[in-house]
Amino acid sequence: MKNRFLSMFIGAVLFVLSVAAENYPYRSDVLWVTVPDHVDWLYKTGEKAKIEVQFYKYGVPQDGVEVLYELGGDMMSSDTKGTVKLKNGKAVISMGTMKEPGFRDCRLTAKVGGKTYSHHIKVGFSPEKLQPYTQLPSDFNEFWNKTKAEAAQFPLTYTKEYVKKYSTDKMDCYLIRLQLNKQNQCIYGYLFYPKAEGKYPVVLCPPGAGIKTIKGPMRHKYYAEEGCIRFEIEIHGLNPELDEDTFGEISRAFSSRENGYLVNGLDSRENYYMKRVYLACVRSIDLLTSLPEWDGKNVIVQGGSQGGALALITAGLDKRVTACVANH
């Protein structure tokens, strides 16, 4: 029964995430449809890719509209530009090929009724053959095993404060301050429990990039209300109950491009800012798996953007993780 419930829950989560990450604005008057001649959007190096472009306004194909396209390597300047005219709302663009594994961009622009509309797609060329640019250090596993072992020597230490405004008739919310080390560095997070007694899967949700409060914790209340323990964290040691103006001042002071936390200490694996963040995610799982309400089996990490990267990293660092969802 538990496995059946968990499968249903993960399916519901993936559906919600797919809706949240869809390509089209919710209230747009227009719709771009791009159809490659390979159904999986993937090609072998040396193969030529073609894409059919369709453009609709209020659901009506736009005949005679001129579409400007720009082609280039992934995140690179365009190497090819051109235009096509839509006939019955459709046109075909040749995207060319790539000699080396990678992705090729197609950026589209159309002017209709005095407004400019844009769209952007990619196709892949033998992406399974892509190799990491950075070489794996020979002592990678040794370093992280030692680092995790050292961090684990500090006892699990946290405070737990009931938060009425985020609690419902089906779940309770607590503000957690989780201490990471003897230097009293910490992270905060909201921990959501189902009210009903039982044993539940645990879900760790690290944040997207930036120094900011945990916005709208109730938007994910269905996790706890449907039978999961969810821990949504911040990573900077800042109480999410602080007002947004204060967070804005802190962000402007410590998160600008020239001195942002993502490059803080980047020249040293011992002192890199995100090293502590990675360990904080592992320590968060220590907390979740220490709860008597945990089902003893299911440990899920889920996030988007920076949170998606942290979900992947946490899954790689911690063998207790049984499922990982990185929605983008």
Last residue of a domain, one of 111, 129, 147: 129
Residue 107 and residue 80 in contact, taking contact as beta carbons nearer than 8 Å: no
Q: Give tens-digit pLDDT for 82-120.
A: 999 999 899 999 999 999 999 999 999 999 989 999 999
- Same domain as 300, residue 254: yes
- Beta bridge partners, 303, equal 326
The H or E element containing residue 277 is helix 273-290
The answer to whether the beta carbons of residues 303 and 310 sit under 8 Å apart is yes
Structure tokens at 168: 């419902």
- Are 225 and 284 in a shared domain? yes
Q: Do 138 and 121 belong together in one domain?
A: no
> Side-chain half-sphere of 229: how many Cα atoms within 13 Å?
25
Rounded CA gap, 59 and 56, in Å? 5
**Residue whose C-alpha is closest to residue 147's, from 102, 112, 181, 195:** 181
Note whether 261 and 297 are same-domain residues: yes
287 and 221 in a common domain? yes
Domain boundary among 98, 129, 160: 129
Q: What angle do CA 283, 207, 135 make, to 5 degrees?
A: 75
Q: What b-and-e string marks burial along 255-273, b requiring 16 or more CB atoms within 10 Å of the CB? A: beeeeebeeeeeeeeeebe
Domain that holds residue 241: 133-326
The CATH number of whichever domain residue 85 belongs to comes to: 2.60.40.1930
pLDDT-above-90 percentage for the chain: 80
pLDDT digits 0-9 by tens, 185-209: 999 999 999 999 999 999 999 999 9
Confidence of residue 41 (pLDDT cuts 50, 70, 90): very high
20-24, 184-188, 296-300: least confidently modelled range:
20-24
Are residues 42 and 188 located together in one domain of the fold? no
Taking only the tens place, the pLDDT of each residue in 225-263 is 999 999 999 999 999 999 989 988 988 888 777 778 999
Domain boundary among 66, 98, 129: 129
Quote the pLDDT of residue 288: 98
* Residue of 68, 108, 111, 62 lying closest to 88 (CA atoms): 62
CA distance 129 to 40: 16
Is residue 21 in a domain?
A: no
The pLDDT mean for the chain works out to 91
The predicted structure's pLDDT at residue 26: 53
Is residue 112 domain-shared with residue 147, that is, in the same domain?
Answer: no
User: How many structural domains compose the chain?
Assistant: 2
Secondary structure of residue 163 in the 3-state scheme: coil
pLDDT of residue 21: 44
